[in-house]
Amino acid sequence: MFGEIMVVEFARALFTAGWINVTLTVATFPLMLMVGGLIAVLRSIPFRPLNFLLGVYVDAIRATPLLLHLFFVFFGLPMWGIRFDAWTSALVMLTLHFAAYQSVVFRSAVSSVPKSVREASRALGIEGFTCFRRVTVPLAFRIALPPTANMLVDLFRGTAIVSLLSVQDIVFKGTIMLQTYKGDSPTIFLIIALFFVAVGYPMSMVVRSLERKFAIL
């Protein structure tokens, strides 16, 4: 009976802390889309120096670990006079990291629209920006939506790393509890895993549904 009560108390405390992970995901996702979209648009401009710098940024982000970005924002930027609190540092880091990947998703989606579709649109008198807005963007949206939804799942899982900055998320709360209840470490780890599954699995199901619904045959 005592063990069951402890499990319930563990779950209540950890799931409450888990809302920090959910909040951070909800706050980061729209920023990721905006920054990623901006990068994709800027890289489409035929200005080589800008394309080069943005390309270096995207490639550097994709080639280095998330942990390094976290430490750079929280410990590195203050050396240049740029300081954020732990939660804001996590938000900035996650946004910049996943925006780089999202920009690739957007660019790939636009470039995946068949050239023949644009040519057919021009033949029907739909040209220029109107063609881009009414033909290219809707098709690119269908292509980009499933990987973007998948990016949301990756973002949610990535929030676990912010505990290293003492952001009091579910992982941080779990490590604190481990110091008091060392004999219950398997239970604590299982509850943390259960939280990520409980939130992440429905998101994964949505991703699969979107992949089927918006698949372009």
Tens of pLDDT, residue by residue over 162-213, are: 888 878 888 888 888 877 776 667 788 888 888 888 888 888 787 777 767 7
Tens of pLDDT, residue by residue over 68-90, are: 988 888 888 888 988 888 899 99
Instruction: Check which CATH number belongs to the domain holding 19 and give it.
Output: 1.10.3720.10
Tokens of 127: 């040209």
User: Packing angle between helix 86-112 and helix 48-63, nearest 10 degrees?
Assistant: 120
- Output phi, psi for 47, to 5 deg: -130, 100
Tens of pLDDT, residue by residue over 104-150, are: 999 888 877 777 776 677 776 766 667 766 777 777 788 888 888 88
Whole-number Å distance between alpha carbons of 149 and 161: 20
Cβ atoms of residues 49 and 115 within 8 Å: no
Q: Which domain holds residue 66?
A: 2-213
The structural domain count of the chain equals 1
Buried b (16+ CB within 10 A) or exposed e, 180-191: eeeebeebbeeb
Q: Give the count of beta carbons closer than 10 Å to the beta carbon of residue 152.
A: 22
Tens of pLDDT, residue by residue over 15-28, are: 777 888 999 999 99
DSSP readout, 102-128? HHHHHHHHHHHS-HHHHHHHHHTT--H
